[in-house]
Amino acid sequence: MKVTILSDGLDGHINQSLGIVEILQDSLQLSYTTVDVKLKNIFLRGLKYNYIKNLSKNLTNRNINTILSFFEEIDLTECDLLISTGAKLTVLNAALAKKYSIKNINNGSLRGVSDEYFSANLVLEENIRKKKTKISSNIPIILPPNRFNPFKHSGIKNKVLFLIGGNGSGYKYKKKDFFALCKQIIKYVHDSGKTPLIVTSRRTKESHEQLIKEHLEDYLDVRSVWFNSGIGRTNLSNIFKLVDEIFVTEDSSSMIAESISSGLHVYTIAPNRQKKNKDYLEMLYRYERMGFIKRLNFDTTFNNYTNKSTLSAKYKKIINAKHLLKIQILKKLNKLVLTKNLKIL
């Protein structure tokens, strides 16, 4: 089977689409290619995406051709399955799948696009429960798909990972928030004796990143990764193996899911002041109820919690969630031929 992944260039989205491929690989014989999606002209990009979304309400051949005319050509004549993650790719995924009559998977909220255009749509459980009617293509997921699997962690590394994001998902950071965070990191270093390893992301403002570097200069692990330094993509799987636990800012659901999937103890952190996003907070509440995370504030004394961690064992929960997702996807793609037997855990 030949799979095509549509990419919007965002690492978090690509990682999730690749996670879907890896979930299916042990049951389906497949190969995949990744295609970078590009508008032919980015002038008035926002208006174009709104127009494209409006056309998706009725995917006639004429509307499909109009939608595709906005993008550089993508040839799917030999493709069996199309996968995408990210709102900007949803309509294009639907249009291409209908044009070429192929199966397709959308990962994430459809945001008004009809589910009838997808073979499977992966949605967090919170969003599924909001629907009053059963959506046949929807698959409720516990964790967003990703390429990380829990592994056995041997020995104490005496290092701690801080994954730092930025504005998004109802969170808005100011310099004073990162002053407070740096103060707690320094206190944690003195209390625990562990060295902090910092990884920033595309959401991290350059000024905030510089503030963190300056305040933690005397404490940082040299393998810290600074997004605004132009260092490129980071292999988090290698970094996860260097540390004992992970602190991750609450603005990024993908970073949180990746951290959970490592099998390490995960602590989400955020300022006291935040805009309430009910759907997003419900996801965090569920993760905490399941023992996947412990939620803390920037001005919390971290060592009080890491010394007395009550987080439950997550390994089986994570593995079972991935296995269940595979079964559900294969069920939706019922015309695909299985090449290996499935074993139910």
Complete DSSP assignment for 59-120: --HHHHHHHHHTB-----TT-SEEEEESGGGHHHHHHHHHHHT-EEEEES--TTS-GGG-SE
> For residue 133, what pLDDT is reported?
45
Closest CA to 95 of 40, 43, 145, 37: 37
Q: What is the pLDDT of residues 202-230, one digit of tens each?
A: 899 999 999 999 999 999 999 999 999 87
| 118-127, 189-198, 225-234, range with the lowest pLDDT | 225-234
| Fold agreement (2-147+319-332, 159-312) | yes
The pLDDT, as a whole number, for residue 277 is 77
Q: What is the CATH number of domain 2-147+319-332?
A: 3.40.50
Residue 100 has a pLDDT of 95
Query: Comparing 86-100, 168-182, 262-276, 320-334, which segment has the lowest mean pLDDT?
Result: 262-276
Q: What pLDDT does residue 43 have? A: 85
Q: Where are the domains of the chain?
A: 2-147+319-332, 159-312
Domain 159-312: CATH superfamily is Glycogen Phosphorylase B; (3.40.50.2000)
DSSP, collapsed to helix, strand or coil, labels residue 333 as coil
- Model confidence, pTM: 0.85
> Per-residue pLDDT for 319 more than 80?
yes
Residue (of 114, 269, 64) closest to 184 by Cα position: 269
Average model confidence (pLDDT) across the chain:
88
Helix H or strand E encompassing 290: none
pLDDT for 343 equals 42
Please give the pLDDT value at position 335: 47
